[in-house]
Amino acid sequence: MNNDDRVLSIPLKKTDPVELYLPLRKLVVSKYSENDAQKVESVLETLNKCRRDMVERRGDLSLPMQRDCLIHYFKCLSMVELLFTSISSDADVDPVIFVWYDAFNPDHQDGVSSERNAIQLEKAAVVFNLGAICSQIAASCDRTTALGRHLAMEAFKVAANFFLKLWKVFAKGVVSATLDLTRRFAKFLHLLFSAQASELELREQFNNNDASSVYKLYRRAYELIPADSAAWNYVNSFDQTWVPHLCQKATFFEAEARQWKSSILPKSKRPFPEAYESRVQSCAIDQAECVTETLVSGICSLSRELKPPQIYVDLILSEYNPFKITKDGKLVAYPWDMPPPYPINSAILSSPLPSSRASEILAFIPLKKSEPLNDLYESLRSYFVLKYSESVAKRVEGFLEMLHKLRNEMLRDDLSLPFRRDCLVLYFKCLCMIEPFFPMKASPNPPVFVWYNAIIPQHHSSQHNIHLEKASVLFNLGALCIHIALSCDQSTIHGYRLAKDALKDAFYWNDKLRRESKRASGTIDLSGQYFDVIQDEIHNEFAHLKRKFHRHDVSSLPDSANMSRDGPLANYDPSDVTEQFLLGYCKAHSLLHFGADSLPHGVCEAECLDLLSEFSPVKIEDGNLVANAILEAPNLALENMSLQETTQQSFKFSIAEHEASSSHMKDETNYLASPSSKIQQEEHSLSLLLSELSNLWSSYNSTKGNAISNALTRDVKNPEGSLGRAAALQSALIKERREVREQQQRTMLDSIPKDLNRPWEDPSQSLMKGILLRSLRVLVLVVIGETGSGKTTQITQYLAEAGYTTRGKIGCTQPRRVAATSVAKRVAEEFGCQLGEEVGYAIRFEDSTGPDTVIKYMTEGMLLREILADENLSQYSVIMLDEAHERTINTDVLFGLLKQLVQRRPEL
């Protein structure tokens, strides 16, 4: 039996014109005020324009433009939904009547009005038309090409999702509707388009399922129609070939399923999905006509994993979102046919001081830097010429130019936060599109990505691996969202919501980075230990925001507003018309981006359909991927605007700059201006870092009180001169006697049985995360704390847990033999090992270490002996000079030797 290649699509519902602006504005003025009406006036104007264009300009608009108009209109309609509820309950207000006609009746005899359905009929009809327009897009694709088949498959999936929502949600509230809006018919259309999408998916071998799934969908769709005589007559009156077509499809795929089962391989010999997927992908890439389709498939694969941006981040900061919140609280909805970029509210980013300990740590996270790739376009284009042909390279050269331009823009230092975010997101999507072509073995000069460590700029990674590029972009997206959150004006409700959503985005990007970094061997800032520290601090900052701005109990709000305490409308005010409009926008956003259960896509989440839009940065034209010429001029204007706003929008969170006095800054400027050697500059940088850490921890301890009083720090200057040295020697003798007494007490306590399995509770655990983060950023770190704060016993264990022992031992010096032995014994007990195994010590005439030792305590003389034998101390990854302020001869010599060593070994 032959299979019919015809696909079915449905027409759009038609409606009568309706004036919406004047009655809705009048209602807002009467219910609220004239000032409130001005705040939402732009939304009402855009709503009215969208519906007028949807009715009057249908013949002038292409199918993708009709889809854009319908999606824009649906968002505006959801924003004013509560106004229609007021109209239906207020007898003094003239009702707005929508009249819609049956899509399958060309004579328009069975129109139905919304007198009994309020806005439910309008929303159901718009959802129907969204599904119908997607089915028409699918039917219009050239299915003789790989790209056309892929676009048709994705469009049918989206159409099926829309009709699923119509069946499950919108058709329930419509009374006396036409037959095309009944739940049975919506279910029938959902099954029909799901079957057609699965059939195309089976043809392209994008999955390893058998034909039985396609057969079941066609069979279920076919059985719905004969079971209802009205539906049977209804379908036959529109097209008498539909029912026989469905029957033929079900019969054909039933036979295909039986044949597949009869020749099925044993379960042990079936290919794994991953192997099957890679085989299909390699076959597709080897065919020249499939190159464009492979690029589009990359963005579709991303859309299945990529979560849409948080609502407030998209509303305020995205230049590609036509809905905006201005600085005076107005809601702006730009016309659907106005190309981006759209103005943003940059006043909300005011760069305040960090308000919590978590924000103080997060404020130090910089962006990763990279070397420019001036030959990226030429390298990629030459690959397509050598691998395929000149004609294939011409089909994708517009996309390659866009990729090259985005990478250059991404590396600019003068970009504002919003523009840099949009640039990074778009560049990441382009990387996902071109990822299947890596590694480019056929290219004589593949692109080399060079990225520097964000914490230690002296370290870098240079690879052909595109996963390094993706991981680095994800790192910058996470860091940028943190910068946005910390720079928000949190004195306003919009600033608070933006900060909260930006932290959610940062957490999400870092989570994506954790998975991507496993395939990229980059610098240490792409390691798991770094992610754990950053994610914990993001969580702490998010909790701080919730405690600071939680004004009243969310459970007391109406059900429509009780979305989530962490939702985009925290502290929702139901008496504010702007808040009501925002609530409607959130509902539409949730419907369009998080949709159907049991389906791989959200309702309209098909990135390849966005490539058909007139306003997409990269679009599909005649089977080619080209840069959108419509957006070139606005982007140039946006770049100029970004240059002018850079000084106001650049993110600078240096605690030392905020707390330093003007006199200190003047002295620093004079110092740097004077001629000095490199060593002097390093000493100055080290002193600034010491002051910075001291101010940071002191500020934090003043807020936390006694919880971490042992970690209080202070800046102590070393005494100079003979009297000072004599006082220091006397202090050292007193301290040595005290340590002898403490050793005797510990010996007595060691004889008492103790529970070694009970975990030790560290009161300064949160402070150590900041120390670890600092240790990634600098080569030399000075830690100052009171006696008993855990400098000697705890920092070594935290460094071991952070992974420093993978590159060598952690060495810690002590000025006296007794201190080295007693501390090593104490740390071994806490570490859970025998002394001399993972934790050991070395003193003169006694070495209690082994091949498994990762933490080693020793006297300063022993370290001098080791550095004489191995001047690079190649066995060590960390060296700690404890009690360095006592300034013995050994300590001073070690200072000089280690200062030269860190120049030879910057990773030490």
Over the stretch 546-562, which tens digit does the pLDDT of each residue have?
A: 777 664 333 333 333 33
The DSSP code for 562 is -
Q: Under a CB-based contact definition with an 8 Å cutoff, are residues 490 and 496 in contact?
A: yes
112: buried, middle or exposed (CB in 10 Å: 19+, 13-18, 0-12)? buried
Output the pLDDT for position 477: 92
- Any bridge partners for residue 814, and if so which? 859
Instruction: Tell whether 250 is covered by a domain.
Output: yes
- Please compute the mean of the pLDDT values over residues 615-634 and round it to a whole number: 74
Is residue 418 one of the residues assigned to a domain? yes
pLDDT at 156: 92
Is 567 part of any domain? no
Domain annotation covers residue 399: yes
62 and 110 assigned to the same domain: no
Residues 152 and 89 in one domain: no
User: CA 641, 645, 649, 652: dihedral to nearest 10 degrees?
Assistant: 130
- Judge whether 565 lies within some domain: no
Q: How large is the average pLDDT for residues 348-373?
A: 73
Query: Are both 116 and 25 inside the same structural domain?
Result: no
Last residue of a domain, one of 496, 529, 562: 529
The CA distance from 405 to 410, in Å, is 9
CB 806 within 8 A of CB 524: no
Residues 584 and 523 in one domain: no
Per-residue pLDDT at 140: 92
In this structure, are 187 and 113 located in the same domain?
A: yes
Name the domain boundary from 262, 282, 308: 262
Count Cβ neighbours within 10 Å for each residue of 874-905 and write b for 16 or more, e otherwise: eebbbbbbbbbeebbebbeebeeebeebeeee
Question: E strands along 527-676, which residues?
Answer: 618-621, 624-627
Q: Which of 73-77, 599-603, 604-608 has the lowest mean pLDDT?
A: 599-603
Higher pLDDT, 701 or 781: 781
When pLDDT is averaged across residues 871-892 and rounded to a whole number, the result is: 87
- 812-828 confidence digits (pLDDT tens): 999 888 888 999 999 99
Residues 497 and 405 reside in one and the same domain: yes
CA distance 651 to 457: 19
Q: How confident is the model at residue 766, as a pLDDT?
A: 56
The reply to whether 687 falls in a domain is: no
Bond into 447 cis (ω within 30) = no
Cβ distance 796 to 742 under 8 Å?
Answer: no
Q: Domain of 882: which CATH number?
A: 3.40.50.300
Domain boundary among 231, 262, 293: 262
Please tell me the predicted confidence (pLDDT) of residue 562. 37
- Mean pLDDT (whole number) for 538-544: 84
Q: How far is CA 260 from CA 204, 368, 418, in A?
A: 16, 52, 53
Cβ-contact 113, 98 below 8 angstroms: yes
Pair (58, 155) in one structural domain: no
- Counting the structural domains of the chain, the total is 4
Same domain, 67 and 161: no
Q: pLDDT tens digit string along 377-414? A: 888 988 888 888 888 888 888 889 889 999 998 888 88
Give residue 715's pLDDT: 34
**In this structure, are 83 and 119 located in the same domain?**
no
- Residues 487 and 448 reside in one and the same domain: yes
Main-chain phi, psi angles of 361, to 5 degrees: -75, -45
Contact 359, 486 (CB under 8 A): yes
Query: For residue 452, which phi and psi values (nearest 5 degrees)?
Result: -95, 155
Render pLDDT for 710-763 as a digit per residue (tens, 0 to 9). Answer: 332 333 334 444 444 545 555 666 677 677 777 777 776 666 555 545 455 555
Q: pTM surpassing 0.75?
A: no
**Residue 238 sits in the same domain as residue 105:** yes
Distance between CA atoms of 193 and 779, rounded to whole angstroms?
Answer: 61
- Percentage, residues of the chain above pLDDT 70: 71
The DSSP symbol for 145 reads: S
Considering the domain architecture, whether residues 121 and 191 belong to the same structural domain is answered as yes
Say how far apart CA 612 and CA 149 lie, in whole Å: 14
108 or 59, which is more confident: 59
- pLDDT band at residue 571, thresholds of 50, 70 and 90? low
- Show the domain range for 421: 321-340+357-506+519-529
Mean pLDDT of 322-349: 81
Look at the block and give the residue holding tokens 């209690």: 848
Q: What is the CATH number of the domain that holds 205?
A: 1.25.40.280
What is the average pLDDT across 219-226? 81
